[in-house]
Amino acid sequence: MSNCAPIGVFDSGFGGLTAVRELRRILPGENIVYFGDNARIPYGDKSAETIIKYACQDAAFLLSLGVKAILVACGTVSSVAIDVLKEKISVPVVGVIEPAAKRALALSKKGMIGVLGTKATVKSGSYERFIRTLDGKVSTVGVACPLLVPLVENGYVSENNQITRLAVREYIEPIEKSGCDCIILGCTHYPLLERVFKAEWAEGELINTGREAAVALSDILKASDALSPDGSRGGLKLYSSDSAENFIDAAAMYLGEAIKDFERVDILSYGL
């Protein structure tokens, strides 16, 4: 695999662009291709069988572009399908769970960690299991947040939006009452609500799963001597299973840069 090959990133929608933003900051010379499966969002309320099917199609599309590594910027896929992807794919595959869990353990002083995620992520117990393998004394509290992804996808991300504030308050209340001093934002959509979380939960640490996954992937590429040798700014191309309407404007907001290269994909024609 050429060092100049792109890094592939996928998510169920816009949320994974928070991980792309971090990759662009950490590895500015890398070419990145991103696929957002907006036509089938949300993944979080789908069955495990369906999530695995979608994940394999998403990954197959990125592999068709010749990527040298894949960042699964989706908490639901990382919880349900990451082992399947790693078994089927020869390039490095990094999910969001292990890097975020390690960071939470490093930051939590009380040994009480909250996990916010989609229904599928929380039901899988993936964060809790991985945290227990590293430290069996740490307690976790998982809360499913089915309203947050639709709110983000529809642009309700301001700390001044009362609907979003009420939803966030509802979800963090049981975590707050349990005494957690650290919350894993277990979906890459959630960092777009970081100001809302801070407004409703001033104490404690918030873990950005996309940021931690980007750092982990960077470490893997460096260790494998697989970074791009070109010192110039890397390219970025975005793909979606839905039309360009709303996608380009939303992506520009999430990334903080103009979107120059977008293409729609028939994702149903791909599979591992």
In the residue annotation, 56 being an active-site residue is answered as: no
Q: Of these residues, 56, 145, 180, 187, which one is catalytic?
A: 187
In the residue annotation, 187 being an active-site residue is answered as: yes
Q: How far apart are alpha carbons 129 and 132 in whole angstroms?
A: 5
Of 86, 90, 95, 35, residue with least CA distance to 265: 35
Q: Of these residues, 74, 145, 180, 182, which one is catalytic?
A: 74
Q: Report the catalytic residues.
A: 74, 187
